[in-house]
Structure 1
Amino acid sequence: MGADNDVTGAADSNGREDGARWAGQEEAAKPPALGEDRAAWLPEGMTTPSEDERAAGAQARAELQARSLDMWVETKWWGFQVHMNKLTADLIGDLEEWASKIIGAAIPGIGQLVARVMKLHGQAIKAANSAGPDGVKCSSPWFAPPG
């Protein structure tokens, strides 16, 4: 790896060529632009978000951003990640309504459940947030079968 830790397209000392970073070396995820779709993958049988769900999520995110807060969701083949900037992670216990809409815009049907679980785990999220400068990424495998 070079001094700038850019591993994209280059093998690291362990021979990895996929551009992945090892734990502790991952750069902070860059938030998508408002309206940019990061819900690229959903399990077979799970419905895609409706236009109303996407609009509600975009509106909730815009309201958070107006307060210097931010939250976004990325879906992966193995599960999903909810990203929060530092201030958002500190306030997660008070943001369930917004979180529910933002998560529901990417993962229909479980946004409210995931937001409630995040609220219940608020102290752990705050503790993780205090350990670094970039906020928190909560990751989960797909925990419910589709349908």
Structure 2
Amino acid sequence: MTPPTAEDIEAGRQARAELAQIQDNPEVWAEAKWWGFRVFLNHEAVNVAAEIYPRIGTLVGQFLPSPIGTLVRLYYKAHSMVMKRVDQDRGIVLTSPWIAIAALVPTPIGWPSSDTSLWWTVFEEEHGWSQDKEFPKHASEANPALAAFEGKLRASRGRLG
């Protein structure tokens, strides 16, 4: 693979400048990893993307034979709906591996948490919960989880508070 050209880099700068001119301050940024890339959209950018995604599908779909054009339109419409649902007013991350660059799988920004530290706290009836304290040099294998079992709330790994 060849690195991006100077024209590609300038086009990226121009796209960021154009995004900055849109009302509601949409923010979009990207990062490359060895396994693929991620595109970050704040909540405002998700709203803008959800508005134009179906239109992109319609524009592209008009040049494709049936039923492929219909499938493309439906895909873009469904993807815009999924992005809005995943957003949770925080923004989303669109993730794609290099072998499937169009995948753009949406997840909420900040999910899953990368903090696998173990924490402890104490509850005292007259004072409530104490400040969280981290166990030094200890971590869990996965993110924290809570479950209800036999009418009781059970915690599994990670931070409680």
Taking structure 1 as the reference length, the TM-score comes to 0.46
* Structure showing greater Rg: 2
Which one has more relative contact order, counting CA pairs under 8 Å at least 6 apart?
1
* Structure with higher strand content: 2
